[in-house]
Chains A and B, each alone.
Chain A
Amino acid sequence: MGMASPKTYTNPVYSYQHSPDQDSVTAVHHPVIIVGAGPAGLSAALDLALQGIVSVVLDDNNTVSIGSRAICFSKRTLEICDRFGCAAPMLDKGITWNLGKVFNGDRLIYEFNLLPEQHHKMPAFINLQQYYFEEYMVERAEQFSEIDLRWLHKVTQVQTDDNLAQIEVETQDGKYRMTCDYLLVADGANSPIRAQLGLESSGQVFEDRFLIADVVMQSELPTQRRFWFNPTFHAGQSTLLHRQADNVWRIDFQLGWDANPEEENKPEKILPRIQKMLGEDVEFELEWSSVYTFRCRMMESFIHHRVYFIGDAAHQVSPFGARGANGGIQGVENLTWKLAKVLKKEAPEDLVKTYDVERQQGAKENVLNSSRATDFMTPKNKTSKVFRNEVLNLAEAYPFARSLVNSGRLSVPCVYDGSPLNTEDTDDFPTKIRPGSPAIDAAITSADGKQWLLECLGGRFVAMICVKESNRLSMERLRQQITELMREAEEIDVLLVNATASGEDMLKEGCREISDTKNLIEQRYDLKPGNVYLFRPDQHVCGRWRSFSAGNVIGAMRRALGYELEVR
């Protein structure tokens, strides 16, 4: 639907490659095939590769996103990309922002600061055009021999039963077939494969239209998210202005349900609209534009036999809150370690089905938040509109009303409360972080040069144990338990926090050691001497105890690996 093609960006062209699979008489089998090389599909391939799992990625196009689409990438997404090894160019190119301003008419009614806590490696958000985001992922993917990325290979047919998925692929050299143990479908919001399998993604369409325009301009405007309800330059509707890389600015104009999408996407219509907003003397060029009607919907189950839906194919949200790509990548992260464990026969097959349990919860949260923001922007009847406007009118003078103003509740990762993989607390702990939560980062120091806690977690199970100031007796007990843990559970890495001199020999036995020099781990985790946290390979907490016993930790790991799941 894009009209102008970007001026500041040239889409890379990835060439078609003929695969030996195409010459095989019988369908070649792969453990994992991924359909779609968007943010979801690429994340899946990268995370699986890190776990040593080979995959084939098929995309029907030969480039990254045409036009920008997603621009806001959240802290959690950047942390995940950092694990993949591609966050650095994103941070380099992206624009970091913290401040948001909300206007009612032309008056500023309040500001919010995303107030990132100090001492996290990643900022709260960056703004970066989706094509750059994908390009950096592709560059990273090309470094893995585990990833067989095939451009201009279009999947045309999918069949599946409980044992296998079979696909047909169309290329310029003709058709070929493949089979796989797991087919990850990341073919986007309209997912032709979902439709072909007779499955649905259901939810609501918001009766409204939005013009999304990216413009290039040299501007002194500060790097802030600015949102207007009913400004004079666009009376009766809302507008969003946000900065991206390369002096590109994203503008969203709410148009109303009666607007004609084709008319509204004509330059003669768009240019004056933007000029009016920016001011008569501002020079700009239109980079890309499109008119959207937004919807929130999700599949009832993301799993269909051997077919696993990920990203927008599984769940789609309206963009206010930036929960689309961000939520999608978090979903992928949830799936990949489980899939790797199952494929390596290190966990029962049912583990991978908990992807559906945990990410239904995540997707519902994203749908709920995105729907509420969209409803606030597009009230469904007159009374709702009156309430909305009066919230805005009260918000300037009264802080309480600001808490109701909703121009998007920005993406935060889901806490998997109640997940069957959690070992619930038996000891007294604060609940800000809890079983099911993603790890909270913290600046640390370590002998091997790591500076961030999150760099020490992920990929494997990690038991984080605080050993500071323990007396000789408790130290002896701790050493025994650690030795037992390492003997009984090879899958768990032991991470000692603040090991004292007597911890030196534990280090030699294969533990890693970090120092909580700024007491951040103590503050953020309430981690005291003798306490332990167990993290899953996706960095989520799966259990914690005030007193460390190898048996408890191993039990929690087994639960997180799905050994305690009720047989269905």
Chain B
Amino acid sequence: MGNLNLKPNFSDPDSFYAALTELHRDLDPDQSERINARIILLLANHIGDQDVLLEAMRIATESPE
């Protein structure tokens, strides 16, 4: 079983959020989709552990709309 960290872990949450949204501010949806894909791939490799990745995917798909 994976152990995805679901407790706050950001060194600077507000700055992260600002950077993420800023990044997309002038992009059209297609560009955003590509950038998001790259971010996911980069971070997924950093995490590496298949169980943790699967847990993140599960939570992401099961979370309420």
Contacts and interface: CB of A to CB of B under 8 A. Distances in A.
Interface of A: 383, 386-387, 389-391, 393-394, 400-401, 404
B41 A394 contact: yes
A383 B33 contact: yes
A400 B45 contact: yes
B45 A386 contact: no
Nearest to B46: A400
B24 interface: no
A386 B37 contact: yes
Nearest to A393: B38
A390 B30 CA distance: 12
A387 B37 contact: yes
Nearest to B37: A390
Contacts of B7: none
Q: Kindly list the 7 A-B residue pairs having the minimum CB-CB distance in the complex, ordered from nearest.
A: A390-B37, A400-B45, A390-B38, A386-B37, A387-B37, A386-B33, A386-B34
Nearest to A391: B41
A343 B10 CA distance: 68
A351 B41 CA distance: 46
Interface string B14-43: 000000000000000000011001101110
Nearest to B35: A390
The winner among B33, B37, B38, B40 for most chain A CB atoms within 10 A is B37
The winner among A389, A390, A391, A401 for most chain B CB atoms within 10 A is A390
Contacts, number: 22
B61 to A, nearest CB: 13
A263 B42 CA distance: 42
A272 B40 CA distance: 40
22 contacts: A383-B33, A383-B37, A386-B33, A386-B34, A386-B37, A387-B37, A387-B40, A387-B41, A389-B34, A390-B34, A390-B37, A390-B38, A390-B41, A391-B41, A393-B38, A394-B38, A394-B41, A394-B42, A400-B45, A401-B41, A401-B45, A404-B41
Contacts of B34: 386, 389-390
Contacts of B38: 390, 393-394
Contacts of A393: 38
Contacts of B45: 400-401
Contacts of A387: 37, 40-41
Nearest to A383: B33
B26 to A, nearest CB: 19
Nearest to A401: B41
A515 B60 CA distance: 58
Given A387-B40, A394-B42, 4 more contacts: A386-B34, A390-B34, A390-B37, A394-B41
Contacts of A389: 34
Nearest to A399: B45
Nearest to A400: B45
A508 to B, nearest CB: 55
Interface in B36-65: 37-38, 40-42, 45
Contacts of A383: 33, 37
A383 B42 CA distance: 17
B44 to A, nearest CB: 9
A386 B34 CA distance: 6
Nearest to A404: B41
B22 to A, nearest CB: 20
Nearest to B39: A390
